[in-house]
Structures are given as C-alpha cells and as structure tokens.
Amino acid sequence: MDSWVIRTTTRDVDDESIMRRGNIYQLANGYMGYRGTLDEYGTAQCVGITLAGLYDRVGSAWREPVNAPNGGYTALSVDGVDLTTLDEANAVAHEQSVNMAEAVFERRTRFVVGGHTIVLHTSRFLSADERHLGVVRVSITSDADTTLQVCTGIDGRIWDINGPHLPQLTAETRDGALLVHGCTQENQKRVAVVECVEAPFTDVKIETEAPSALRVVSLPMAAGETVTFTKYFAVVTENDASADDVIGHALAVVEQAHRDGYDACRERHVAAWTQKWMRSDVVIEGDDEAQRALRYSIFQLLMAAPWPGSGLSIPARALSGQVYKGAVFWDTEMFMFPFFLHTHPEAATELLRYRVRTLDGARRKARTEGPGYRGAFYAWESQETGDDACSYFNVGDPTTGRDLRTHFRDKQVHISGDVAIAIWAHFRHTGDDSLLLEGGAEVILECARFYDSYAYFKRDKNRFEILDVIGPDEYHERVNNNAFTSQVARETILIALATVEHLSETHPAALEALLAKLDIAGELQGLAELARNLFVPEPHPETGVIEQFEGYFKLDETSIDALKERRVHPNEYLGAGQGLAVPTQIIKQADVVMMLNLFKDRYDDRVRRANWEFYEPRTEHGSSLSACAYAMVAAEFGNLDYAYRYFLKTAKIDLDGAYKVYAGTVFIGGSHPAANGGAWMTAVFGFGGVRTDGEGLHIRPRLYREWQRLAFSLCYRGDRFAVEITPTLVSITADSDNARFHEVDIAGQVRTCPPGTTVTVPLPEPQPL
Ligand code: BGC
C-alpha cells in the first residue's frame, strides 16, 4: 500500500457515492477547493469549486460560500456518443487517485466505443504557489483512426445548495482566453474565471453562450496517437482585487501560467507541498492503514489552511462545498488549531486573526442575543463578518418537514471561551505576544466580560453558576452547570487576568490603552471574584464520574441501539424539543470527556478512566468531533487499545465515508477537518505523549504495540525539532537553525537540547501492552 496515494478503481454511478467521492478526492489550496469529481461532470454530480471567504445569500435561504464556474471542465464524445464514466456501456475501466505528496488528482478512464478504445488521462492541481491558479493536463489516446469531439473550457452551470449566487454570468473571450464572470446577489461582488489552453488544436469553435464559455474541437486522431493539452484557469473575486481589476487579474494569472508552462507551474506547486510536508508529516512504521489515514488527515488540514494575510479561517467542512454554510465553528480552535500551532505556527496565527477581525460581529451578537450580555459572544457559525449564520431553527424534522427550534446559536456559549483559550495557547506556545497586542488581548477580555454578564450569582448557594447552556453534547439543550462550559468560562476569566498581568509587566502603555478603550479596569476585581467562586461540577468522590450537567444522572438509562430503534425516520434528529435522546442519558458527542482532554492537568487517571467508561457507552459519536476526544483520553490513562480504535475512527472518517449525510433534513455531507485535526492530535499528543504547555516540551510516549516507530516534527517557541519514538527510545533533534537551547522532559528525564544536536533517551523497557 502506497501511503502517499489514495486510489479507487470503482466507478461512482449512484448519487451518494458520487457525493462522497467528491469529498474524498477533493483538492484545495486554501483559496479554493475543487471537489474530486471528474472532468466531464456537471451540476448533477456535485462539481464544486468553492471559494474561501466569499459568501452570498439568496432571498431568505442560508448564506453560503460561493462556488465558481468550473474552469477545469473537459468532455469528450465520439460518433455522437458522450464519453463519461457514468455510462457503463462505454467506460470499461476507471482509476482515480490523489497523490498527497504533491496534491495532484489524476484520473484514467478507458472507454470502448464502436469497437475501439479511447483512454482519457487527466491530472489536475490547484497551485500551492499561486492561489488563483488551477491547472489540468489532459491526454487522450485512441487505438484506431477516429475523430473525437472535445469540449473544453469553463462550465458555468454551477451546483449550489442555496443559489444561484452568480445568477447572470457573462461568457466571452478575451485576449484568446475564455472568460466567465458575474456578480454575487447579496453584495454584488464580482467573480471572474479565465481559462486558456496550450493545445495542438486547429479546428476550434468557440461557444460563449452564457453561462458557459467553451471550445468545441473536432480532433482527428490516428491509431495509437496521444493528444495532450493543458488548461490553465484562474479564479479571482472582488475579495482579492478591485471590481475593475477582477477580470484583469484573472487574465494576468492565466497568461503568466501559460508563459511559464506546465512543468514550471507544477514544479513550483510541488516544491511548496514538499515544504509543507517537511514541517508536518508524521511517520508511523508498522501500521500501513494508520499511516495512510493519518497522512490523509494531515493532507486535508494542509489543503484547507488559509493564506497568510487572508484573515480567513477554516470552515467545519473545509472547502469541500457549501455544506454547513461554509461556516467556521469551534471545530477550528479546538480541533484543527493545535496541528497548525505545532507545525505551521504562522497558519495558526492566521486562524486567530480571523477571530480578531470578527470581534465586532461577536460584540454585536452579545448585544442582540440576550438580556444584558456584554463583551464578545462569538458566532456559533461564523462567516466573513462574525455575525451568526446559525439560525434559531437550524435542523428540520424529516417526518413532518417542520423546522425545529435549536439553541446552538443562543446557548452554546462555550464558543467564546474556546476562542480565548486558543489565543492564550498561541501565546504560551510561541512565546510571542504580538497577536495579543494585535487584538488578541482585546478578544480575551471581551470574552471574559461576556461570561461575567452570563453568570448568575446564586445567593442560596453563595456561588456563581453558568446556567441555561448547551455543552458540546447538542442533544441536551438549555441545561444548567454543564461541566465543560463552566470550566471553559472559568478558564477564560483566568486567562483574561493572566493577560492583564502579562501586559502590565511587558507592555504597560498598551495595557492602559486597552483597558481605557474597553472601559474594563473597574471590572477586573469582579472577574477575579467570579473565577474564584464559579461553580464547576467536580468528580464524584467515590465513583470519580463528573455529572455532565445538573440532573443528567436522573435521565433515562437506555442504549443507543434501543434509542435508534425508536426512530420513525433514519435521518431523524435525536435532539431539539421532542428528540428521542432528550429525556435519556444518550449524548451526541464527547462532552465531559472533551473537558478532560482540554484540561488535562486538572484530573488524574482514575477520573479519566471512570468518566471514559461511564460516558462511552452513552455516546452516539453522532458528531465527527467525538472519537478523537475518546482516543486521546484513553491514551492518557493508558488503554491504548481503546485509544487506537478511536484513533482509526477519527483518521478514517472520510476515507471510510462513515459519517452522517443528513442531520434531520439538513444535508451535512462534506469532509471533516476537525476529525482530521483530532487524528493528528491523537498521534502526536496521545501516542506520542507530547505536551507543550508553555513551560517546556514534554514527551511521554505511549506507543501503540504494533507501531515500530513514530516520527514527527514539532515547532515550539519558533524553533523546530524532529522527534522519533520507538518502543525502546525517544530521540529529539533540534534544528541547527534553532535560536535557543531547550530543556526537554523525555519520559521524566530532563535534558538540554542545543541547536543542531540530538538527544536520545532510552525507554526502560518496551511499552506495556
Ligand atoms: C457538532 C458540533 C460541530 C458541528 C460542525 C455538529 O454536528 O455537534 O460540535 O461544531 O457539527 O462540525
């Protein structure tokens, strides 16, 4: 098994496998995503070139990211017969693959028409060097003399969920290139796609009938001949250029690519990917399945990473389409961010800049969402302004077709703290406080202020409580004293106080200006009091189990299977008002276990194990975010078999297609970057035992028994390290460019690791099973 390649030889002919395959084989370059569909596919097969950070709303439907016209389009026909893999009669063999090392998609299909064979081979990439550029190389071989009809250009028939977002596309030619352009409906933002070919064609007919701009070519082929041509396409929007310049910019990108040629474009793209992998690959020896799934996970994260300076973040379904409104959830800070922080810190910074940039949206939400809320209440589903894209009726009931009232938007208040925790982790990990000064400190203080306004002081109990919330488990809405949420709230306040302390020592003038700007100095004492006296549910003294929220233990005990048997419809949503899970202890995803994972230092192994064993049978894992939390906590308390099982579940979620495609009536079938981040965390933090808590680097490996070697790179405090773990030793090599000597705690032994040296520590004996 080549662990760098994913491949299939089956053809996708039904809707669901086409949709899933589009996710698995997608490419992205942070600017746009191109679903892994075939060159000749159209709207019915969910072709999507999804643009990061450009959203549109049509009427009262959900706002979602804009899909661009497909500049990668090519379709063939011969003797009036269309060649497409969907046609079982003609496509006799098919293979498609993605080479993850180079981020290149390839397809090779053998068609038989009228007794002779035509092979179509294409390879495509979205440039990692020039964000606007996509390149497709097409080769056609025929074993007999024939004339092929080639139709190639820009397909303007766009697959949208809630579109059309580019309703009046104009198709034309410009300077020998094809051009399709138009404007979004809501904000009239211009989008242009330009395509040109480098081809041996002579007999070309241009068709520019909106919405598509196409070249139709009659291509005479001699037996055994291969004809090759290259398509360069560029997508530019008004987010990147002024309205007058959008077309010019796209033309310039395509002209430059054409001048440079295919090899140069591809070389630059591959070189950029080599760099990315050098900083983030994780090697697992002894387990090909785990290796490939983990690489796939890392690949997804790398493809989705925003470009420096874009101020964008990563949506919950990355760039695999318009699913989940292209919105950014807590998924980014809690599940994807750690990967970037430890491998590509500049991308981690970019993710947080997005939250700084959308702070005003969070302030607006606090002002408008509840009685007397202050500070920053971040959007549950955040788009470009930070206003909440989540609706109050976010799920539909498939049996009645009615919308269900959900409280994700107004009660899932842990989102603000998740953001604050990530900003503080960024500072602790990098040692660089510039993000705090660029607005990060302001975000933290405003998030703390939000919890201050949200908490209730209960006179009878003489303590503060966080009431009426949803924790990560969305099946139980409007609960009191959810352990996860209260702990996150308290942590946020502690972080706010620590931020003030740090700035007072290092940047007193900046602190003074910030306190004055927010008029918050008079609230700091109150925050300290809240942190001291905020109730967070504790482990039960005997069992060690933490009650997920007040009253949880009194709910019905049932099994997941029994609950599911009672469904009237397979897509029925189990939460919201009358949901089947609501009166029961069945939870959607890790909640207490997520908390144990986030606040590792506060609990011991007894508590970890007790809660894992209590909550796991009660967890549906109905969210892709769940498995990795269970994997990491199991690794922590030493049950590596449990850890491994959930590691594979999270790492293979997209490859196996083991995910929900509908939540109620809502289509949610995209890719799962949070699970991908969870896979990386499980490998490096779980089995690798890495902790970088701001106090140094710690490595306490817990290698899974089948793994002979686990090797990865880490970035800490701006310096880089290569770590290698085998059953008998750990070695860490400090990059020769490192600026500092670092103390590293390896399996309890503290060693100094100067730049350019390797420290090796033998492990006492092979890791216990
Ligand atoms: C999960 C949330 C998650 C969202 C986006 C939901 O199903 O319950 O925790 O943020 O999906 O991935």
Is 263 annotated to bind a ligand? Reply is no
CA dihedral 145, 146, 147, 150 (to 10 degrees): -100
330 lines ligand 1 (CB under 6 A): yes
Measure the CA–CA gap between 627 and 645, rounded to whole angstroms: 9
Q: Is 209 a catalytic residue?
A: no
Find the DSSP H helices in 335-383: 337-343, 345-357, 359-369
Annotated binding residue at 461?
Answer: no
Smallest CA separation from ligand 1 atom 12, residue = 316
Question: CA 360, 362, 366, 369 torsion: positive or negative?
Answer: positive
Choice from 332, 474, 574, 666 to test ligand 1 binding pocket (greatest atom count within 8 A of CB): 474
Predicted confidence (pLDDT) per residue in 311-361, tens digit: 999 999 999 999 999 999 999 999 999 999 999 999 999 999 999 999 999
Tokens 């078999």 sit at which residue?
Answer: 641
380: tokens are 């549950």
Contact of 375 with 450, CB cutoff 8 Å = yes
Tell me how far CA of residue 239 lies from CA of 51, 55, 361, 757, in angstroms. 10, 10, 19, 45
Residue 205: strand, helix, or coil: strand
Give backbone dihedrals phi and psi of 192, rounded to 5 degrees, phi first.
-130, 140
- Residue 394 Cβ inside 6 Å of ligand 1? The answer reads no
Does ligand 1 have an atom closer than 6 angstroms to the CB of 329? Answer: yes
Cα Dmax for the chain = 91
Residues with Cβ within 8 Å of residue 120, at least 6 apart in sequence:
39, 76, 83, 107, 108, 109, 111, 138, 139, 140
Peptide bond just before 754 cis, omega within 30 deg: no
Q: How far is the CA of 166 from the centre of ligand 1 (A)?
A: 29
Residue 331: CB within 6 Å of ligand 1? yes
Any atom of ligand 1 within 6 Å of the Cβ of 316: yes
Burial of 508 (0-12, 13-18, 19+ CB in 10 A): exposed
In this prediction, the residues of the chain whose per-residue pLDDT falls under 70 are 664, 666, 766-769
| Shortest-distance atom of ligand 1 to CA 474 | 8
Q: Establish whether residue 229 lines the binding site of ligand 1, counting it when its CB lies within 6 angstroms of any ligand atom.
A: no
Cβ(381) – ligand 1 distance below 6 Å: no
Nearest-atom number in ligand 1 for the CA of 331 is 10
Q: Is 331 annotated as a binding residue?
A: yes
Reported pTM: 0.96
3-state secondary structure of 453: helix
**What is the C-alpha to C-alpha distance for residues 78 and 470, in angstroms, rounded to an integer?**
58
- Given a contact cutoff of 8 angstroms between Cβ atoms, the answer to whether 619 and 589 are in contact is yes
Catalytic residue selected from 238, 474, 523, 572:
474
Q: Is 75 helix (H, G, I), strand (E, B) or coil?
A: strand
If you measure from the C-alpha of residue 212 to the centroid of ligand 1, how many angstroms do you get, rounded to a whole number? 36
Please write down the HEC assignment for all residues of 596-642.
Answer: HHHCHHHCCHHHHHHHHHHHHHHECCCCCCHHHHHHHHHHHHCCHHH
Burial class of 272 by CB neighbour count within 10 A (0 to 12, 13 to 18, 19+): middle
The response to whether 330 counts as a known ligand-binding position is yes
> Which residues share a beta bridge with 575?
none
Hey, what domains does the chain have and what are their CATH numbers? 25-279 (2.70.98.40), 281-687 (1.50.10.10), 693-762 (2.60.420.10)
Smallest CA separation from ligand 1 atom 9, residue: 472
| Cα 691 to middle of ligand 1, angstroms | 26
Query: What pLDDT, on a 0 to 100 scale, did the predictor assign at position 769?
Result: 46
Evaluate whether 175 touches 255 at the Cβ level (below 8 Å): yes
Segment 84-127, tens digit of pLDDT: 888 777 889 999 999 999 999 999 999 999 889 999 999 999 99
Identify each DSSP E strand in 355-499 by its residue range: 395-396, 403-404, 456-458, 463-465
CA of 279 relative to ligand 1 center, distance in Å: 29
Cβ distance 483 to 546 under 8 Å?
yes
pLDDT of residue 740: 93
Handedness of CA 39, 40, 43, 45 (dihedral sign): negative
Q: Which amino acid is residue 437, in one-letter code?
A: L
Would you state the pLDDT for residue 664? 67
b vs e for 181-196, b when ≥16 Cβ sit within 10 Å of the residue's Cβ?
Answer: bbbbbeeebbbbbbbb
Residue for token pair 């686990």 = 710
CA–CA distance, 377 with 357 (Å, rounded to integer): 14
Would you state the structure tokens that stand for residue 687, as one six-digit string? 């089995």
